[in-house]
Amino acid sequence: MAVANTVSEQLLKPGNIRQRLQDDGYLVAQQSTPEHTMLALRYKLMAFFEERRHNAQPTQVQKSTYKQYRDIIPYGVNEFPELMPILFSPDILAICRTALGDDFVFLPENTVMRDYFNTLHTDFTEPELLGHNFHKESDFKKLTIGIYLQENIDNDGGMFLVPGSHNRQDPYVSIRLAQQAFERSRVKKFLAKLSGNRLYNYHKLLRVDKNGIDLPNKPGDALIFDGRLAHRASIPNSGKWTPKGEKLALFYGVMSNNRHVDAYIGYLRDLKRDFYSYIDEPRHPDIVRFCEKEGITLR
């Protein structure tokens, strides 16, 4: 089992927070919300997903976005504003302020996801493929925070990440470009088959990194990481901790309030217009009140 960079009183000192984020690129903050509150929340979210599953029948048009509709709640806090004190517990707030400065933004990028498993990427693989370079500027500071609502141990449904990879170039940009070229080339597909899948094995390149670790977490622990870090969901090998249909995760983004915020939100707006259509819609009054009280800039 991987040793997590779990925040203790010692690690919560500002110098340590900055050092760990600079060297390893991630921290784990333990949840301060009582377990029964977390369990009640989990129950409520599961019921929401179940209702959606029953109500949503895939039509021909919907088919490609059906899984997304059924298992992802875009801007989930508007639906469940009681999430705010969990997303911004005192420890999480302290880490955000230390890493990003007192004026930081709660981005319009937060989702509640069920059974979401993806391949290795950084949060800037997609922007870079679309021609953006804001994440390479020294004053661009963005953290992604992931909270799982179940325990995860070893490689079974939580987060797999590559410590220190945020300080290197994103390898997945060139891998994804090569994969796209491969999809278009009959010759390459033929050679891949001939080599017994040793050549052009993008499946492996996008899943395996020998320096990566699977992070254990308790329900509600927050994995706080530099968006430039290579990561993916752990593969649910045994299904013991996340049996099918049981993985629930909250993911959201925060960043320093500076010249890059508008550029980043512009990228989100252009990315998938349907998915991010809420960007310009009003926020729930409880979210506005919470952010005002805590001094968080809400976008």
Ligand X SMILES: O=C(O)CCC(=O)C(=O)O
Q: Given the rule CB under 6 A, which residues bind ligand X? A: 113, 116, 118, 159, 231-233, 249, 251
> Minimum distance from CB of 225 to ligand X (Å)?
10
The span from the CA of 155 to the CA of 158, in Å, is 7
> Minimum distance from CB of 96 to ligand X (Å)?
18
Query: Considering beta carbons, is residue 38 or 200 the nearer one to ligand X?
Result: 38
> Minimum distance from CB of 37 to ligand X (Å)?
22
**Contact (CB, 8 A) for 287 and 130:** no
**Contact (CB, 8 A) for 219 and 38:** yes
> Minimum distance from CB of 260 to ligand X (Å)?
19
A 10 A CB-CB count for 230 gives 23
**Contact (CB, 8 A) for 7 and 203:** no
Query: Considering beta carbons, is residue 165 or 200 the nearer one to ligand X?
Result: 165
- DSSP letters of 53-109? HHH----TTTHHHHHHHHHEEETHHHH-GGGHHHHT-HHHHHHHHHHH-SSEEEEEE
> Minimum distance from CB of 157 to ligand X (Å)?
7
Nearest Cα to Cα of residue 134 among 39, 260, 33? 260
Query: Token digits for 130?
Result: 């679309």
> Minimum distance from CB of 235 to ligand X (Å)?
10
> Minimum distance from CB of 118 to ligand X (Å)?
5
**Contact (CB, 8 A) for 96 and 254:** yes
Query: Considering beta carbons, is residue 80 or 251 the nearer one to ligand X?
Result: 251
> Minimum distance from CB of 218 to ligand X (Å)?
15
Give residue number: closest CB to ligand X: 233
Residue in the block written with tokens 């490609």: 64
